[in-house]
Amino acid sequence: MRLTGGGSQRVYAAVDVHYLDAGARAAVVTAADPTFAAVLQERTLVVPRVSSYRPGEFYLRELPPIRAVLRALGDEGQPHLIVVDGYVDLDPDGRPGLGAYVHAEFGVAVIGVAKSAFEPATHAIAVLRGASAKPLFVTAAGMPRRMAAELVRQMAGSFRLPDALRRVDALARGA
């Protein structure tokens, strides 16, 4: 899979959602390259109502705000790759996580970057960044996991969490 080049400018997006007393704030950071070294834009959007949390159905709560903030980018800003905070799939058999639903919804490659290990996700690739001895756990859809792990390793920033993910988290929290 080729993630750079081509006739039109490719856009890469990192998304996150933070829950408010009423609704949620979704955030997106877009970049001109998959390492997020050249940020194009940042956007937040408040979604006034979201589903209640239901164990095993987290995506029902998270996907609508992600859908809304990505659609707010318009046709010109639609991403060729989306990075989510969490897992794409939850086990080696492909039980879908948030990233799998994002992949199905948008039809583009999705990289899941989780900050903590999820025991059934033995297929996730541990990625060390910066001086941290604590890994990130990478899964993917629409591209090989090893390629996704290498992209996460190369993402801009010298800390454990890539700068794009740190920034989109801060935006979603209202910082």
Domains parsed from the chain with CATH numbers: 12-173 (3.30.2170.10)
Confidence of residue 175 (pLDDT cuts 50, 70, 90): confident
Predicted pLDDT of residue 75 = 77
126 vs 161: CA distance, rounded Å:
13
Give the model's pLDDT for residue 68.
Answer: 94
In tens, the pLDDT along 89-107 reads 999 999 999 999 999 999 9
Q: Exposed e or buried b for every residue in 113-135, given b needs 16+ CB within 10 A? A: bbeeeeeebebbbebebeeeeeb
